[in-house]
Amino acid sequence: MTEEAHLHRLLLDRMTSTGSLRTEPWKRAAAAVPRHEFLRGGFFRRAHGSDFTAWHPVRRAEPGWLEGCYTDESLVTQIAGTIVPEDIRGRITREPTSSSTLPSLVLRMLEDLQVEDGHQVLEIGTGTGYSTALLCTRLGEDNVTSVEYDPDVAARARAALGHVGLYPTLVTGDGLLGHGEGAPYDRIIATCAVRTVPTQWVEQTRPGGLILTTIGGWLGASELARLTVHEDGTASGPLLGGGVNFMLARPHLPPPLGLLPDLGDGKERESTIGTEVLDDWTSRFVVQLAVPGAQRLTLERDGRTEDVLVDVETGSWAAVYQDGGRWLVRQGGPQPLWDTVEEQTGRWSGDGAPSLEKFTVTVAAEGQTIRW
Ligand SMILES: C[S@@+](CC[C@H](N)C(=O)[O-])C[C@H]1O[C@@H](n2cnc3c(N)ncnc32)[C@H](O)[C@@H]1O
């Protein structure tokens, strides 16, 4: 057995034992698709010992490359929208913009997609092409369409898929618009997160079909949702749980913070809650639903740490800090953001603090609602 085959086998065994890989057709597909073929351009590893998140490149044929390809980890393949491992010597400290998702999550999502033979699938976020290859192997390349926003990423995925002999329909463009030409689809799967599920995805899925996507937002909380499309043109379904996190679809990324409002100039009062609601995964999701336009930053001011929420569009802001045993909040702008956060988290706690699996998403022409 080659080293590649050995490492691949270990990964398959691990994904099976942890329950990500559950059914025979997906086990066969996962065994047939070698992940290293989709990482020939190398990847970035997180560099330790830096205040900022820094990344260093691991190029093909460098020590650790092959092992890295078969670890159950997400591997960053592009940084800051253009930079690939070949471009860098040393470290870089910018945000990742494309990656190969950890295989156990890819397979868990493909299992959750509940495909059947002959299904037409639209994938949003081709990335390296690894998940596209799995879909092609399971369903046949004629049944798979994949959309990638970034032309360079799309070109590399096309080459990698061609290298292993797979030729699905690959589209370069904004996957939030779906791909009307191939509609209706039986399934839509997104491997980037969205703030709101696009109505185009609902329109392009046949009644009874499924949309599997991560719903995220600007406070960094997210969860996987599986929606069923109904005859009346709406879609609804539960969040699936598991703390699934993906990079946001590029058109859904937050706007720059710009010039900060004057954070000293606001009304101060005691807060009924502390910033733990922003740290816990579930309550952060609840806060994000309450103030979807808010972004968070942490500032040192007057010798104390303040957690600040800023809504760039409205100019509203709230700064929360601890003073001895109590929490204080100072707010400014047209909307008292923290009042909304207190009200929404209070209602959620009052209802017994349900877990995200108890939340339901509905998408209709009027927009998206998420309720517990
Ligand atoms: C986590 S990666 C995808 C991982 C991929 N499925 C794999 O197996 O390698 C997310 C990808 O979504 C792409 N993306 C972001 N916004 C998008 C959009 N609006 N439409 C299509 N692709 C998008 C990113 O460029 C990135 O390549």
Q: What pLDDT is stored for residue 342 in this prediction?
A: 98
Q: Is residue 58 domain-resident?
A: no
Residues 240 and 276 both lie in one domain: no
Residues with Cβ within 8 Å of residue 82, at least 6 apart in sequence? 152
Q: Report which ligand 1 atom has the smallest distance to the Cα of 127.
A: 27
Cα 94 to middle of ligand 1, angstroms: 18
Q: What are the distances in angstroms from CA 86 to CA 75, 82, 291? A: 15, 11, 40
Burial of 111-146, coded b for 16+ CB within 10 Å and e otherwise, reads bbbebeeebbbbbbbbbbbbbbbbbbbbbebebbbb
Residue 112 sits in the same domain as residue 234: yes
Q: How far is CA 1 from CA 7, 8, 15, 29, in A?
A: 10, 11, 20, 19
Q: Are residues 246 and 329 in the same domain?
A: no
Same domain, 218 and 284: no
Atom of ligand 1 nearest to the CA of 251: 19
Query: pLDDT tens, position by position, for the chain (372 residues)?
Result: 899 999 999 999 999 999 999 999 999 999 999 999 999 999 999 887 655 678 999 999 899 999 999 999 999 999 988 999 999 888 888 889 999 999 999 999 999 999 999 999 999 999 999 999 999 999 999 999 999 999 999 999 999 999 999 999 999 999 999 999 999 999 999 999 999 999 999 999 999 999 999 999 999 999 999 999 999 999 999 999 888 889 999 999 999 988 888 888 889 999 999 999 999 999 999 999 999 999 999 999 888 999 999 999 999 999 999 998 999 999 999 999 999 999 999 999 999 999 999 999 999 999 999 999
Domain of 336: which CATH number?
Answer: 3.30.160
- State which residues form the domain around 317: 267-350
Cα of 125 vs centre of ligand 1, distance in Å, is 3
Longest dimension (CA), the chain: 69
For atom 4 of ligand 1, the residue with the nearest CA is 127
Distance 137 CA to ligand 1 centre (A): 20
209 located within any domain: yes
CA distance 231 to 234: 7
Co-location of 121 and 203 in the same domain: yes
Residues 304, 182 share a domain: no
Lining ligand 1 with CB less than 6 A are: 98-101, 106, 124-125, 127-128, 130-131, 147-150, 153, 174-176, 191-192, 246-247, 249-251
**Can you give the C-alpha Rg of the chain in angstroms?**
22
Closest residue to atom 3 of ligand 1, CA basis: 127
